[in-house]
Structure 1
Amino acid sequence: MKEVIGLFVVVLTSLMGRADGIEPNSGYCIGNQCFTVFQDPSDFTTAQNQCKDQGGHLMTIRSSVSHDILLILLGNFTLRFWIGLHLPTGCPDAAADLKGFQWVTKDSESDFFNWAPSFDSSCSSHRCVSVSKNDEFKWIQEPCGERAAGFLCEYSFSEPCKRLAVSDGESVTYWTTLGFGGEDVLSLPPGSIALRRPAETKYVCLSEQWQQAPWSCDIQKGGCDYKCAVDPKQGPSCYCPPGQAVNPANKVTCVVATEDPCLPLRCAHACNKSGDSYKCVCDHGFKLAQDGRSCLALNDCMDKRQCPRENFVCVNTVGGFQCVCKDGYTMFGGMCVDEDECMSAPCEHICDNTAGSYKCSCYEGYKEDPKSPNKCTLYCGEEECVAECDPNDSFQCYCPEGYVSEEREHGTFCIDFDECSSDYCDQNCQNTFGSYVCTCSPGYTLVGQFTCVKNEDGTVTEGTGAATTPNIPTTPPVPYPDPTRQPSGVTVGGLVGIIVCTAFFIVLLVFLAHHFLSGRGKMESAGALKAPEDEAYDLQQVTSDTKEKPPQRDI
């Protein structure tokens, strides 16, 4: 029974997996493989993701048989379609059979090769491959970022079913879980549905066998035209709306009832015949209430057998449940496989994939950033260490927070800065490499990581009363700086000394300027006084020489 439930889960998850995806234009199944063609313009990466979401991968053409299938699928298309061949790294190797290219399954095994004569072996060549009917389906290199007309997907499965035998006047139409079907399908994957006409009987493929409807209500309503219900004694059964009854010939379709014995029962969900009478039954995921007609929802996930396969989890829904993959796992071929999160480069330095998750680590000289575990910051852990310098500019160097750089003859070094010398802590301070820790004396409590507040109740803490600073906050309280931020190199006393010296120097300059200007003023005053004296003397001499003699009288 457990194996049957597990197979139901695989079929259900495969149906849910493609419910939101695009529909293929056509498909072909042979043995344990199916192939589909999608006419959906996409670049190479998008095409590969589309196939992966459907539970497969881009088609690999490793043999002449798969090449023939390619011809069948693309016989009516003339544009270009992606196949699962690409060059992930490096340059092409013209001497190799696959020219250094790989299939998307990460291997190079192949018995068939169909390269175009125009193959480009240069390192700048295109790295993805497409095919087209117009080029006789040769493998042609294309830019991976360009959009082809579509792509081909490949799927693998186990326990397939063969075609149903038909009698004269009968026909069978098939639908696969991959979204295509028809009457000429030779091999069908588990979960495929078959409809036999004209009887309108339905079948589902399970464990290489066709099981006639009604089957499990989890898979397409058990094959019922209207709804599926579970009778604890009889298993799944179909029922019809009021005024109609289940066709006894195929047990899934509804026909007009000449007389409906279920109407007087007023069943909330369904009514089934039990012996010579009728009784109410409930849809799958519900149970019959004590009144015999109401239905109560069940938590199907309480039954641990619902999702038995590895890495599946059960999600309860109204009237049912869903089997989905655990976090860190993805659906592939009906199984939940580990998803390699490192492919999306979530870590700044080193990424190690783990089962269902991943782990980030840092290069030597760095440590994990406590604010962002996927990032790394410079780390020394000693009193001094070599600085991290730009290889293109030796003068552009970096140190961890809490360190200062010092240029030496042989390079630049990072020296731990003693923050305790700047009196950032209210009472006690202990310097650490790249930071510092504030503590308080007995009877005080550390508040805000810097300030010590006296205990109001007068209690004295045992021992020293030291309290270690927790993680340094992003924005420390004013006026204390962040312990990991490089503080100013000037102390308060030094700053006062600088101010006093500057003031003294200014006063001295003023005094000297005043003295110089005063001396010059005296010199100019003496010169001015001398000049008038000389001028007065000269004027007196002139006056004396030209003094008019008195007139003489005649005798």
Structure 2
Amino acid sequence: MVPTTHALPVWLLFLCGLGDTVPSHRGHCTGNQCFVLFQEPGDFAGAQKSCKDSGGQSLMSNSEPVEKLLRSPLHGGFWMTPSPDGPGRPGCPCISVSGGRNFTVLWKPCRDSLDGFLCQYTFHELCGGLQAASDAQVKYTYTSMDWELDDSDTFPPGTIAVAGTLDGQYLDSKHVCFSSGWVEAPWTCEVLQGGCEHACSSTHGCVCPAGKTLQPNNFACTDSPCGSNPCTGEGEECHITQDGFTCTCKDGFDLEDGGCVDVAICEKCEHMLCDKFNGVYECHCRKGFRVSPRDPSKCELMCTERDCPSICVHDDEKGPQCFCLDGYIQDTSPNTSTPFCTDIDECESNQCDQQCENLFGSYRCLCDDGFKLHPDMFTCVPVPVREQEEDEDGSGSTAPYPSPASPHPATVVPSYIKTGSVMGMSVFVALCAALLYFLIRNGAKRCGKFDLSSFRRPEIDIFYLQQVTTETYKRISFDKQFKNDPPTIL
């Protein structure tokens, strides 16, 4: 890389501002002098001014490198500067070229317009020729003024040298002349984008657009063999090689049986249990746990009974904090101070269209004969006639379709709540019957016409209602028994 701590010389400023260039001009450098042929029409005064404005001077007519500049194919007349020791003649000197090196020095009226002019320049810290492979050809260009310097002995700072072989698929290298030495691309991005064909990054060097890849020369781009996505298998990615490309497995995938298999999840399994099923690795859990439906790498407690212990976490400020698994609700028992979890009967909420089967911690929907479960897993739809005809037993009936576990409404309560409601109704009916009995008996005594002995029982059970809460329901127990003789009603 070009040292960034050095002050950029003037020629680098030219490089930084270089945009679209005009057609190349021929140049030849030897020692610390460069001689350039400009093919820009104009008169003698305009030629003198152009040479001076570009930091040079008009080429003298007795300069030896003229033959290097007038190589074929070239035709026309080009202004020069008269030699100080040459004969004085009217007009201004020029060179008339016909077919290359066959040229003649002529004197033309200074106001005539010729095909161009010749200038000469002086430089310091020039570079020698680039050392390239024996079969490589090198092209030299002074980029700030677009000079072709191929047939030169030395090269001014800022010259770009590009080397490559005729049968090569891409260029071998690119260099820039700096401080009498050649610096290979990519160099600092502040100078001609580091020599990059597309773009230059201060941290990554040359970069290419999407669909293209960097050639081995590290500055030019080419169509990427991976640009058409040739590696489309699960877990595959494309890597460029000298022969083209190869498909490899991404990080977290291993090559097994000719395909890439995701093994990254095995490193995340909470219980470190991982097995391959149908070509896919899955986490497993220890006994009493199941894989969490929210995260396939985590395990959660599993309850396979109607009642299970609650999960409690001790809190220094609030004490034990207990909770239940999904599908269970917290309850208490007089035999223990620790709450337990009991299964929620989701079927009581009538979430299914036809039939419902309660499961521990979940439920599933079933359908009657002639119906099948809709993809929403709740609704039953008629089985098409064609499917009924294809049924093996010819009855047209279909087996029940189970519904997977699904979220439950927070208001669903345990099944024994319904049982408590039935018990309360039973008690109410019993009390009403007892009241009716006493009314009839009392009426019989007054009227003296009825024999109610058949209604009498030695023992009558009295039930007392007990207030219950909405959180839990307790079974109502018998409180006490009446005496053998029924109470007298006045």
TM over 0.5: no
Q: Report the TM-score when normalising by structure 2.
A: 0.39
User: Which structure has the bigger radius of gyration?
Assistant: 2
Q: Which has the higher helix share?
A: 1
Q: Report the TM-score when normalising by structure 1.
A: 0.35
Q: Which structure carries more relative contact order (alpha carbon 8 Å, separation 6+)?
A: 1
